[in-house]
Structure 1
C-alpha cells in the first residue's frame, strides 16, 4: 500500500540545509521514495497558522520502504543535523479512505 511521509519542519539553524537538500532525495530514492513536494510556500486555508518553514511530501510504495529510508544508516547524520537545527515532525499516512466512501482509494486494513 502506498504511503506518504509528511515532514513538517521549522528551521532554527539553517546550517544543515545545503547538505540535506543535496543528498537526502537520493537516499529516499534508494528506498523507492519520490519527493512530491519540498516547499516553503505554505498557505493556511483553515485553522490557526503554524510556524513551519517548510513541508516535504515523499511518496513510498510501502511502509517498509518509508521505514527503510528513515532508518537508513546513510540518512542518520542528515537526520541528526536536521533534528539539531529544526523542530520537525515526520508523519506517515497511507493512501486509504477511513470512511470507505471513495471508490478509488483502498479501505483501511
Structure 2
C-alpha cells in the first residue's frame, strides 16, 4: 500500500537549504519516493492557524520505504539541519479510505 509524507516546513534560517535539496532528492529516490508537490503555492480553504512557508508531499511505495528513508544514515545530517533550521511537521498518511 502506498503512503504519503505530508510535510509543513517554515525555514527559520536558509543556510541549510542549498545543501539539503540535492541529497534529499537522491535519498528519496533511493527508497522509491516521488515528490508530488514541493511548493509555497498553497491556500487554506477551511480552518484556522498559521500557514507554513512550504508544503511538501512525497508518495512512497510502502510505509517501510518512508521509515527507511527517515532512518537512512546518509540522510541523518540533512534531517538534523532541516529540523534545526526550520519549524517542521511531518505526517505519514496511508493511501486508504477508512470511511468507504
Q: TM (normalized to structure 2)?
A: 0.95
Does 2:57 align with 1:57?
A: yes
- Which residue in 2 is equivalent to 1:43? 43
SS at match of 1:15: coil
> May I ask how many residue pairs the two structures share in their alignment?
100
After TM superposition, list the pairs within 5 Å mapping 1:73-88 onto structure 2. Answer: 73-88=73-88
SS at match of 1:59: strand
Gaps of 5+ in 2: none
> Shift of residue 51 of structure 1?
3.0
- Which residue in 1 is equivalent to 2:2? 2
Q: In 2, Cα distance between the equivalents of 1:50 and 1:63?
A: 28
Structure index of larger Rg: 1
Q: TM (normalized to structure 1)?
A: 0.87
How large is the Cα RMSD of the aligned pairs? 0.9
Q: After TM superposition, where is structure 1 displaced by more than 4 Å over at least 4 residues in a row?
A: none
Gaps of 5+ in 1: 101-109
Q: In 1, Cα distance between the equivalents of 2:42 and 2:17?
A: 18
